[in-house]
Structure formats: structure tokens, C-alpha cells
Amino acid sequence: MPQVRCALCRRSSLGESVLSTTRDADRVDAELQKAAATPLRETSESERRGFYREHGVLLCDGTSLESVAEAVGTPAYLYSVGEIQAQYARLSAALSGVPHRIHYSVKANSNLAILGILRALGSGVDIVSGGEMYRAQSAGFKGRDIVFSGVGKTEREMTEALTLGVLMINVESEEELARWDEVAGRMGRKAAVALRVNPEVMVDTPHPYTRTGVKGMKFGIPFDETLVVARRALGMKNISLIGLDMHVGSQISQFEPYEIGLGRLLQLKNEITEAGATELEYLDIGGGLAVSYDEEHPVDVEGFGAVVERLVGPTGLKVIVEPGRYLVGNAGVLLTRVLYRKRSGGKQFVIVDAGMNDLIRPSHYNAYHRIEAVRPSGGKITADIVGPVCESGDFLGLHRDVDDAKPGDLIAVRSAGAYGFVMASNYNSRPRISEVLIERGRFGVVTEREQYSDLVRKERLEPEWKKVT
């Protein structure tokens, strides 16, 4: 399917639903029009954050992308510190009406420097593996900063989590609950758990793979079985049931699924309390807030906060929210350089040095990323932007109206801060690329580009043979 956005799609309004009023939409439109009417060159240096243009050239946090490319090479991921900080501040302010803590979803971008920025802002983390637990510790997070999610936790991971003393474990099934009781009992500890409930909410996301709260998914305990599992948890001597959890999906652009899911979660909370629960303290409402990948209006985070406050505020429960993409998605670009131009079958191709192994989202999810020249030539073409990987599915964008970029020109693939580098691979024996942090006119490499030697560092030409006894 060609990655083409129609005019209607470009102007869709993220966050609009039965909960959004015309007044809300008018307010957002007014803010966007005001921002658009303000020339970037008139903005003070302290307010220049994220990716923007001056004299037509793309910059980030006061730093020339051309200078970064000259220093570190291409392809490379570049991240704006200022944009991450601004997104965090806005979400935290939107939730100020309820006791809450933001727990960043590490799987979106697990770079240590990104984790360090968020820890300094007061964030906790949501992890889904022992490796992410290790990363979180390496970035300075303590046990009480960590919520442990994931549908297939191993005994090793359980032992590590209990030893570390994580804040809460989101349990995904009755069998997993029994395993936690067993492991905690052997260790002489109590496991603090929340039950992850599948709210069974039908939600519209850009791709079926990003739906997690629909009936029949692998995630969560089926809604109509949760009370039975809760009663069992209350009878386990090594389990403390302290919360309920849900996640409706990723890249959610409407509030209605959250409202329905929260309503069901709160209904369960009342039933579980009546069944004898006395330690319920947390309501983990997941993440999934949408970011804009083209020209969509940004999600109305303040409206989201108002919904949460209205529904959860009277309960006295502490809210945990687990944003990933929302905090880092628009804070990153994949910077790549044009290698060749080519015509074939009546089509034009722009061949760049970044491929599907560097950013798999376009190929895997049919994801749309805005693609633009760092220094536009003034001309336009319609072309497929493809990489050097030996696969027909190796593309960053298909049938796009893009700048007439020539070999040597720099191209920015926008909104690549989430699910970019973390999903990269060494396919075609291509070394993984560098990651660069940019802040207030300075930049620094936070992941070094791999060398050819790194590709075989863990391999052996001949195995160490062992005899079976």
C-alpha cells in the first residue's frame, strides 16, 4: 500500500472524540495558528527547541544538522533534549489534578542518555524485560522507580525484580500470578502486583499490531475473569494486590477508549474491594498517546488529563501513566544522506544510506514518516525513498512528493525518536548506527556507530565442541 496521505488525512485532528468539544478544537486551532504566524527567526534562543527551520535550513535545539552530519557521519539518529523536556512537562501538568507519576515506557527508546534525561525530570520507568531492568538501573533508577510489565516474564527476571524491590509487577495471567507466589515464597518476600486487565475496548489505531486492549489479544487477563483471579491473589500469602492496570493500545488519537477502559477498571476496583482487598493503591492506565507524524493537530493532552481527573480523582487512587512514543517520538529524526538517483519502470528512486534495518517501521507497520531535505533545493519530485538493503521491502517512503534531492544531500526522516534505533538490526551485516543528543547549541554522541568487528565479536568460526554425557 503506498504511503500517501490525502488532504483529509493530513488535517485530521488527534484527540477528537465524543469527549472533545468544539470549544476544545477551536482552542487547539487558535494555538496552532498563533504558532504558525510567529516567524522562527524572531523566537528567542531559549525557546528554540526541537526541529525547526531558519533561513530554510533544518536545525535542532540551535544546532545545525549539517554540522552534526559532518562530525558523526550518516546515517544517525538525532534527539532533541528540549523537546523531550517540554513533552514531559506538558503531560505532567495535564495530570496535576490527580496524584500521579509518569513511568516512561523504556521500549520506545532505551538509550541510557534518554533515560537519564527523564530520571532527572522525576520520571519512573515501565519495563518489559530483564534487559530493560538492567538499563534502568544503569541509568540510576531505583527499585521503587520501576513498574515491571510484559506477558512472558521468566523466573530469572522475577528473581531479579524481587531482589531489586520494584514498585509494582503488572501480572498478565492467572498462571503468572501463581508463579510469582511461588518464586516470592522461595525468596521469603512478598510480590507487590497489579492485575493487568484486558479492558476489551475496540480502538482505532493506525495498524492492527498496535492494538493491545481488544478482546482476544495476548495481553492482559480477560475482563470477565479478572475478579476470579483477584480473589485468588487475595488468598496468596506471598502476594500483595496493590493495583489494577490496563493498556488500550498505541498511537491512540481519541479519548473514548480511555474513558470506557477506565470505567471498567473502576468497576472492577469496587468489586475487588468488596471481595476483601485492602491494599489497592495504584491505577496504571498505560500509555499510547498519539504523536503527529505529518500535519495532524497534536493530541489534546489537557483534555486527556481532564478525563482522568474526572474519573479517577474521586477514588483517591494514585495514577500511573506509561507514555513512550508521546515523550520521545517527535524528539528524534533519522538523518541520512542521498547516495544515488535512479529511474525504473517510469518511477523515480532516491537511494539513501539508511535502510529498513535502521528504521523498520515503514516496512513493518506501513508507518508514515515525513521526509524532507535538510537544505531544500527548491524543486520537487515524486519518488520512492529507499535504502541499500537487499530487500524489495527496504523503503522509508513510497510515492512521496519530496525535495529534489541530489547525491550528497542530507535527508531528515522526522518523528523517528520512538521505535527507531531500538528496533534496528544488523541485517545484511550492516553495523548499527550512532545516536546523538542535541541540547542548546551543542551535541554529543550517546551511542557509537558499530564497526565491522562488532558484527562478529560474539561469534566463533569453530565451536567449542562438548560431548554429551
As given in the structure block, the three cell numbers for residue 187 are: 525468596
Spatial distance between the Cα atoms of 392 and 336, rounded to a whole number of angstroms: 19
Answer yes or no: are the C-beta atoms of 209 and 216 closer than 8 Å: no
Residue with cell 492496570: 245
Measured from the Cβ of residue 29, the count of other Cβ atoms closer than 10 Å reads: 12
Q: Tell me if residue 60 is catalytic.
A: no
Of the residues 6, 9, 60, 390, which is catalytic? 390
Spatial distance between the Cα atoms of 79 and 72, rounded to a whole number of angstroms: 14
Crossing angle of helices 130-138 and 112-121, rounded to 10°: 60
Spatial distance between the Cα atoms of 412 and 417, rounded to a whole number of angstroms: 12
Q: Which uninterrupted H or E stretch holds 20?
A: none
Answer yes or no: are the C-beta atoms of 169 and 163 closer than 8 Å: no
- Cα dihedral 42→47→51→52 (10° resolution): -10
Q: What is the CA radius of gyration of the chain?
A: 23
Cα diameter, the chain: 77
User: Residue 442 contacts by C-beta under 8 Å, 6 or more apart in sequence?
Assistant: 63
144: left (phi over 0), alpha (psi -120 to 50) or beta: alpha
Measured from the Cβ of residue 275, the count of other Cβ atoms closer than 10 Å reads: 14
- What is each CA distance from 283 to 51, 141, 313, 423, in whole angstroms? 35, 21, 11, 29
Alpha helices in 110-166 (DSSP H): 112-121, 130-138, 155-164
Omega before residue 314 within 30° of 0, cis: no
Rounded to 5 degrees, what are φ and ψ at 223?
A: -55, -45
Q: Residue 459 class from Cβ within 10 Å (0-12 exposed, 13-18 middle, 19+ buried)?
A: exposed
- For residue 177, the number of C-alpha atoms closer than 13 Å in the C-beta half-sphere is 24
Spatial distance between the Cα atoms of 289 and 322, rounded to a whole number of angstroms: 9
Q: Hey, what amino acid is at 119? A: R
Catalytic residues: 390
